[in-house]
Amino acid sequence: MSGPYMTCWRMEPGWRPVVAVAGAGAEARAAPAAAGADDSGAGPPGELLPGVVRVQCVQDLPRFDMPLLLGSFRSSTCNAVAVSYCGVPYLLAPAASVAYGSQIRVFLPGRDKPFAARLAHLGYECELAALELAGGAGAADEFWASLTPYELAPYGLPYLQQPVSVVSYAEGQPRPRAAPGTVMRTEIMTYPSAMQRLLGVSVAVSISKEHIGSPLVDDKGACLGVVYSRTAGARRGTRAGGGTGAGGGGGGGGEGGGERWGAGRRRVGRRRVRGGGGEASASVVAAPVVAHFLEDIKRHGSYQGFPTLGIQWRRLESPALRKFAGMAEGQTGIAIVSVNPTAPLGSHAGPLDVLTGVGGQPVGDDGTVSFRGGAESINISYHVSQFQVGDTLELTLLRGGQPRTVPLRLSVPPRLLPLHLAGRPPSFAVLSGLLLTPLSAPFLEGAFGRGWAVRAPTQLLREWHNHPAFEDEQVVVVAECQDLGPGSATDGYERRAVMHQRVVRCNGVPVRNLEHMVIMAAQAIAAAGAGGGAGAAGGGRRGGGAARLKRRGGGGGGGSAAAATAADAETGAEPEAGSIAAGGPEEEEGGDEQAEAGAGPGSAGAAGAGARLVLELSNRMLVVLPVEAMVRDTAEMLAEYQVAHPVSEDLRPQYERALGRRQQLGGAAGGGGALGAGSRAGGAGPRGQGGAARPRAAAPGGVAVAGGGDAGRGGVATAEGGSGL
């Protein structure tokens, strides 16, 4: 198989890998690496070992659904394969076994002391990770001098029923050993970690879970791929299914028990597995996918991913639909349903355009292109993923019956619901008793389990099919809502009504991402603190010191306000206190509800008491957080979870820049300090707060959404009672 990235992937037809013996001549060279991988001992002194090692990893997995809590540690054992690509050796391991690894050790056969390693490149899409040795140049030289790296097979994909071997190295084995197998299928598979559809190989072979990461080799010792999962299967004659419960068929099913417990129902109970019903198998990352991963690292210095067009398409097999799209007789193609605006194709194509050609190859009505010299066909998504990020691909589009050619620079468009975080810890922000985090598949899995695709709320699952409006857009959701007691900002809100809802707007401004949300919260705190000290907040461009809160039903003017907030964050300039503390953009004509929320400029602390954050959720609920109470609640919540900062590490520079020099992290909460101020400082306050104890007086009844409200009172959302926005 050939591709645009396989410049170094060439071998002679008669190539045969050898295992060299140090100090010996060519006559002493051994047979292929796979054939020499037996378990008869450690081998002669100085013999190079096959390129497979054993890896032990301690994974520090974070809590994606609750980032304030400590994660869990998990110990995993797998294999790693040494592969030579363009003359450079790489150590490849399964991504799921080494992601978030805090300690990685590599064991060589016959060597008791392991090598320390670190994660260099992580590719969830192809289930591969590249490791590098952490012991310096001396350890790396010693390691690579003991191994013979595998070479990728020149023909790329094996043929059906081809005899192959899985070379593995487990604990207790003196040498790697080969498990024979047979190729069952070569097809487009869905790789589970990122739901990416790429080429894969299914092999009938019996291996243990510790052998994941082992190489698949042919009879000449060339590498055909890397094992990333396995199916244990069932032995002939063992029992399967059934049990002693409702499915056990009354008494639990004896020998061959298949009692019927209802007329017309299928046979239940324990039964013997029929021959061939539980065959063990292994799923393998195909050699072309491995070559793409290594070429990405070689060309860009890091893993970039597999490019996509960023479109959703439908087949054009209906004659009426083809005629409506303006296609001629005998012309083939697919109909574009939607285009990701952030993708390079977003400025060239639109709905109802027809994609008729990709890279000079015609696209069939079923969305396939020719494969293996025209003998087969393959899905267009994989054809595009063969190219590297940054390559130029020519597309042929049909609009209104007129064809045109578009040169496209390939990339990986972002998603509103990312399927992984590329090995990064989750981002978060704490506002009073609310914990905010971006929506992602790890978050949904942590909150709803592995069946999150069925159990998660519909308003979150629909983001799977939606495209982001701009490149850095995120869906900010409420991961946790805790009522911190009477007088807190979240007092009176029902937890289940707030949790797992999207934060749509903050003070009338559409929330672009979590960073934007953090910046707006920090600016409101800085404005409230400035007003409490100088008594000038709330003036600004509105005049008279009267801060006005505006509730907007639509997004008019929201984009400019969001852009202004982002620009202030980049330049480090502090916005006017009145516009931020009052919660919003300039007033416009139209019957929008307004309410006076501030006092005159001469009253100290009046603007700080009236400042608030109004969060509009996806279920049309409003959450009103008075800034003064929010600061105290945040400090208390951070002290309870023993967390030092209200935002994650990746958001701290933007957060502290938005606070300004007047609002330092060590300021007292009572003086309008930053979120979480005093949570670690010593003091007489409760739960380690640096300020005075928060009053615990019972909050009065419901406070109107537009009303001022005391800083110690918690506003109750009117939308919870059923009123719309």
CATH for 345: 2.30.42.10
pLDDT at 607 over 90: no
pLDDT tens readout for residues 492-512: 999 999 999 999 999 999 999
Q: Could you tell me if 398 and 487 lie in one domain?
A: no
Question: Does residue 473 sit within a domain?
Answer: yes
| Euclidean distance between CA atoms 439 and 418, whole angstroms | 8
Residue 57 CA neighbour count, 13 Å, CB half: 26
Return the ∠ at Cα 66 (arms to 61 and 70), rounded to 5°. Answer: 45
Contact 339, 346 (CB under 8 A): yes
| Euclidean distance between CA atoms 566 and 586, whole angstroms | 17
- Which residue in the block uniquely carries the two structure tokens 């696209």? 363
CA separation (Å) from 717 to 287, 558, 701, 723?
A: 57, 22, 12, 10
Question: Does residue 396 sit within a domain?
Answer: yes
Specify the pTM: 0.74
Question: Does residue 706 sit within a domain?
Answer: no
| Euclidean distance between CA atoms 483 and 637, whole angstroms | 10
The two three-digit tokens of residue 313, written as one number: 């398409």
pLDDT tens readout for residues 49-64: 789 999 999 999 999 9
Last residue within a domain, chosen from 375, 410, 445: 410
- Residue 108 CB neighbours (<10 A): 18
| Euclidean distance between CA atoms 198 and 422, whole angstroms | 18
Q: Could you tell me if 159 and 209 lie in one domain?
A: yes
CA separation (Å) from 127 to 123, 150, 424?
A: 6, 19, 16
Q: Which residue has the higher pLDDT, 438 or 561?
A: 438
| Euclidean distance between CA atoms 355 and 327, whole angstroms | 11
Q: Could you tell me if 394 and 439 lie in one domain?
A: no
Checking DSSP bridges between strand 361-362 and strand 368-371, what pairing results, if any?
Answer: unpaired
Split at pLDDT 50, 70, 90, the class of 660 is: confident
Q: Could you tell me if 286 and 171 lie in one domain?
A: yes
Range 657-675 average pLDDT: 52
Total H helices, total E strands in the chain: 15, 34
Checking DSSP bridges between strand 196-204 and strand 177-191, what pairing results, if any?
Answer: antiparallel
State which residues form the domain around 88.
49-233+282-300
Q: Could you tell me if 342 and 484 lie in one domain?
A: no
Q: Could you tell me if 371 and 437 lie in one domain?
A: no
Range 530-558 average pLDDT: 36
Residue 205 CA neighbour count, 13 Å, CB half: 33
pLDDT tens readout for residues 292-329: 999 999 999 999 999 999 999 999 988 898 888 889 88
DSSP SS3 for 70: coil
Question: Does residue 102 sit within a domain?
Answer: yes
Residues 6+ apart with CB under 8 A from 32: 16, 17, 18, 19, 217, 219, 220, 221
Q: Could you tell me if 294 and 341 lie in one domain?
A: no
Q: What is the CATH number of the domain that holds 616?
A: 3.20.190.20
Q: What is the DSSP letter of 162?
A: -
Question: Does residue 145 sit within a domain?
Answer: yes
The two three-digit tokens of residue 154, written as one number: 């020149």
Range 452-468 average pLDDT: 92
Question: Does residue 575 sit within a domain?
Answer: no
Question: Does residue 648 sit within a domain?
Answer: yes
Q: Could you tell me if 155 and 67 lie in one domain?
A: yes
Range 404-428 average pLDDT: 95
Q: Could you tell me if 336 and 457 lie in one domain?
A: no
Q: What is the CATH number of the domain that holds 115?
A: 2.40.10.120
| Euclidean distance between CA atoms 202 and 197, whole angstroms | 14
| Euclidean distance between CA atoms 229 and 535, whole angstroms | 64
**Dmax over Cα atoms in the chain, in whole Å?**
97
DSSP SS3 for 581: helix
Q: Could you tell me if 373 and 450 lie in one domain?
A: no
The two three-digit tokens of residue 321, written as one number: 């639909």
- Looking at the structure of the chain, the number of domains it has is 3
Q: Could you tell me if 517 and 629 lie in one domain?
A: yes
Range 334-347 average pLDDT: 93
Q: Could you tell me if 406 and 485 lie in one domain?
A: no
The two three-digit tokens of residue 406, written as one number: 């578009």
Nearest to 473 by CA among 518, 430, 426, 510: 510
The two three-digit tokens of residue 356, written as one number: 């008729």
Contact 411, 343 (CB under 8 A): yes
pLDDT tens readout for residues 381-401: 889 999 999 999 999 999 988
- Residue 171 CB neighbours (<10 A): 9
pLDDT at 428 over 60: yes
671 class by beta-carbon count within 10 Å (0-12 exposed, 13-18 middle, 19+ buried): middle
pLDDT tens readout for residues 221-276: 999 999 999 988 655 544 444 443 433 333 333 433 333 333 443 344 444 444 44
Return the ∠ at Cα 582 (arms to 509 and 648), rounded to 5°. Answer: 60
pLDDT at 675 over 50: no
Question: Does residue 725 sit within a domain?
Answer: no
Split at pLDDT 50, 70, 90, the class of 137 is: confident
